[in-house]
Amino acid sequence: MTLSRAFLAIFLLSAALSSHGDPASLLRIQGSNTIGAALAPALMEGLLRQQGFSDIARQPGDEENELILLARRPDGVRVQMTIAAHGSSTGFRALREGRAELAAASRPVRDSEVAALAERGDLRSAAAEQVIAIDGLAIIVHPTNPLRSLTIDQLAALFSGKLRNWRQVGGEDAPVRLYARDDRSGTFDTFNELVLAPRGDALASTAQRFESNDRLAEAVLKDPHGIGFVGLASVGGARALAVSSGGAQALPPTPDSIATEDYPLARRLFLYRAPGDASPWAQALLDFAQSREGQRIVEQVGFVGQNLRLVPVQADPRMPAAYRDLAGGARRLSVNFRFHEGSAQLDNKALRDLERVRDHVRETGAQLVLVGFGDTKDDPARARLLSRLRAETVRQALFRAGVTAVQTLGIGDDLPVADNHDPAGRLRNRRVEIWVRQGRARDRCTRRPTGIAYCAQ
């Protein structure tokens, strides 16, 4: 990516005013500590290097969890970008008050925040809402804790204080000590929305609260009886537990389970901009973050990037026959397509992923199979039909993007990844997986009894 003439004109004007004084401010980000602690600075540095800036350095801001990124343009002009990472809610407030060009959030924007910024455009539009990385809330314990997994229900009972001894969840006879993020944090909002609120629970008053993921992880690492939740990049020396929801298989927070968002506590990390904002650097950072280079930086920092890769799936006798056939003859891509709540329209992440799948097919010649899933219905046949229709929706969107020869399959409500008794869980179960078979030789195809066609290379 290179700077356009219009971009350069705006940039030169802003920088000229400070060539002999304070550094020109190019971009301000406020919001999530999960993003602001390491990911946002790394993406900013990557963009500046790409555009030929030098002498890139970091210095602390006025308060804890604030950072100033300094650099020099090729002609020597000093510039800066700033980050204030005090929680997702603070980012939307700064966006509304004109104190930031981008809001970093480790949760989706709330209805109240959309309404507060409505005069500046729709914050849920594809232009305003950008998923820059996938993260997983890791449930961490001390390395000496013998437990290996917990259910969502057990997590809710522990963090609400209903269960106070590790023995009650199969551990040692010892008191449970809780560590949690603060109320301004999107990490806490996500944990609350996925774990506590659906069960009518609230965080126990005995929990120690932290503004920083890293500080929380350090506290758990010092406490053999502690348990907390952090972003994947902050696990450090603690041990992350596998988590299960609604009878589904317990999954650890691995890059594959988080990339597909099958892990029950997977979450998206966002950057938001007001649609009417004219900041060229805000758009440049969003474009860079979505690029392959930007997504490689996401992975280097410790989050899960959105660059596509093949995910191994082992065939299991308990799988539906069609799905077991698929696992035996194809490979899964590291992406799930999901939909807006209460809608058949693909969500904003899916719109970006269409481009990634298109590029993958053009580069590899892969044959695609789209597998739709749904939540539980009174009539299993209706669940299968709806899941097939979801796959057809993705097929049509890919066709418009230039990808053809796509086959669809509807699995219905089998193989849930979340609790179907919970509205958020039902939404997660309404998904479409992408499976690939390498090769272009469509004329040498065989069709299995389940109806899935495989083509030889």
Summarised one tens digit per residue, pLDDT across range 359-398 is: 999 999 999 999 999 988 888 899 999 999 999 999 999 9
Give the three-class secondary structure for 454: strand
Decide which of 184 and 224 is more confident: 224
For position 11, what pLDDT does the model report?
Answer: 52
Q: Are residues 314 and 449 in the same domain?
A: yes
| 254 phi, psi to nearest 5 deg | -95, 160
Taking residues 244-253, report their average pLDDT: 89
For position 450, what pLDDT does the model report?
Answer: 41
- Residue 199 is part of a domain; what is its CATH number? 3.40.190.10
How many domains does the chain contain in total? 3
For position 342, what pLDDT does the model report?
Answer: 81
| % of the chain surpassing 90 pLDDT | 76
What are the E-state strand segments in 49-202?
A: 54-60, 66-72, 78-84, 102-105, 129-141, 149-151, 177-181
Distance CA 172, CA 177 (A): 13
Read off the pLDDT of residues 296-305 as tens digits, 9 standing for 90 and up: 999 999 999 9
For position 455, what pLDDT does the model report?
Answer: 37
pLDDT at 1 over 80: no
Q: Are residues 318 and 450 in the same domain?
A: yes
Helix%, strand%, coil% for the chain, nearest 5: 35, 25, 40
Query: pLDDT-derived band of residue 235, with 50, 70 and 90 as boundaries?
Result: very high
Give the three-class secondary structure for 431: strand
Read off the pLDDT of residues 206-218 as tens digits, 9 standing for 90 and up: 999 999 999 999 9
Answer positive or negative: Cα dihedral of 147, 151, 156, 162. Answer: negative
Query: pLDDT-derived band of residue 81, with 50, 70 and 90 as boundaries?
Result: very high
Q: Are residues 200 and 139 in the same domain?
A: yes
Q: Are 409 and 332 in contact (CB under 8 A)?
A: no
Give the three-class secondary structure for 77: coil
Decide which of 348 and 7 is more confident: 348
pTM value? 0.85
Q: What is the DSSP string of 241-280?
A: PEEE-TTPPPB---HHHHHTT-STTEEEEEEE--TT---H
pLDDT at 13 over 50: no
Q: Are 14 and 22 in contact (CB under 8 A)?
A: no
pLDDT at 421 over 90: no
pLDDT at 111 over 70: yes
Read off the pLDDT of residues 301-342 as tens digits, 9 standing for 90 and up: 999 999 999 998 988 898 999 999 999 889 999 999 999 888
266 beta partners: 136
Residue 141: half-sphere exposure toward Cβ, Cα within 13 Å: 20
Range of the domain at 280: 5-132+267-301
Q: Are residues 109 and 128 in the same domain?
A: yes
pLDDT at 92 over 80: yes
Which residues are within 8 A (CB) of 259 and not within 5 positions of it... i.e. 6 or more apart? 134, 304, 305, 306, 309, 311, 334, 335
User: 438: closest CA among 412, 457, 421, 411?
Assistant: 457
Q: What one-letter code names the amino acid at 224?
A: P
Q: Are residues 296 and 189 in the same domain?
A: no
For position 378, what pLDDT does the model report?
Answer: 82
Which residue, of 278, 301, 324, is where some domain finishes? 301
For position 441, what pLDDT does the model report?
Answer: 39
For position 425, what pLDDT does the model report?
Answer: 83
Q: Are residues 112 and 140 in the same domain?
A: no
Q: Are residues 314 and 442 in the same domain?
A: yes
For position 438, what pLDDT does the model report?
Answer: 67
Cα–Cα distance list, 384 to 318, 337, 359, 387, 393 (Å): 18, 17, 30, 5, 14
Mean pLDDT of all residues belonging to the chain = 89
Q: Are residues 282 and 200 in the same domain?
A: no
Q: What is the DSSP string of 394-427?
A: HHHHHHHTT---EEEEE-TT-S-SS-TTSHHHHH
Residue with tokens 């944990």: 191
Read off the pLDDT of residues 158-167 as tens digits, 9 standing for 90 and up: 999 999 999 9
Q: Are residues 289 and 215 in the same domain?
A: no
Q: Tokens for 278, please give them.
A: 């004219």
Q: What one-letter code names the amino acid at 125?
A: S
Q: Are residues 445 and 402 in the same domain?
A: yes
Q: How many CB atoms lie within 10 A of CB 183?
A: 12
Read off the pLDDT of residues 139-181 as tens digits, 9 standing for 90 and up: 999 999 999 999 999 999 999 999 999 999 999 999 999 999 9
Q: Are 408 and 370 in contact (CB under 8 A)?
A: yes
Query: pLDDT-derived band of residue 21, with 50, 70 and 90 as boundaries?
Result: low
Taking residues 406-417, report their average pLDDT: 89
For position 213, what pLDDT does the model report?
Answer: 94
pLDDT at 446 over 60: no
Taking residues 92-98, report their average pLDDT: 95
Q: Which of 4-13, 239-248, 347-356, 442-451 has the lowest mean pLDDT?
A: 442-451
CA dihedral 380, 436, 317, 263 (to 10 degrees): -70
For position 405, what pLDDT does the model report?
Answer: 61
Q: Are residues 319 and 441 in the same domain?
A: yes
Query: pLDDT-derived band of residue 83, with 50, 70 and 90 as boundaries?
Result: very high
pLDDT at 6 over 70: no
For position 252, what pLDDT does the model report?
Answer: 96
- Residue 325 is part of a domain; what is its CATH number? 3.30.1330.60
pLDDT at 60 over 90: yes
Residue with tokens 């802003």: 14
For position 3, what pLDDT does the model report?
Answer: 46
Q: Are residues 351 and 374 in the same domain?
A: yes
Decide which of 24 and 419 is more confident: 24
User: 120: closest CA among 239, 332, 274?
Assistant: 274
Q: What one-letter code names the amino acid at 97?
A: E
User: 430: closest CA among 326, 341, 354, 353?
Assistant: 341
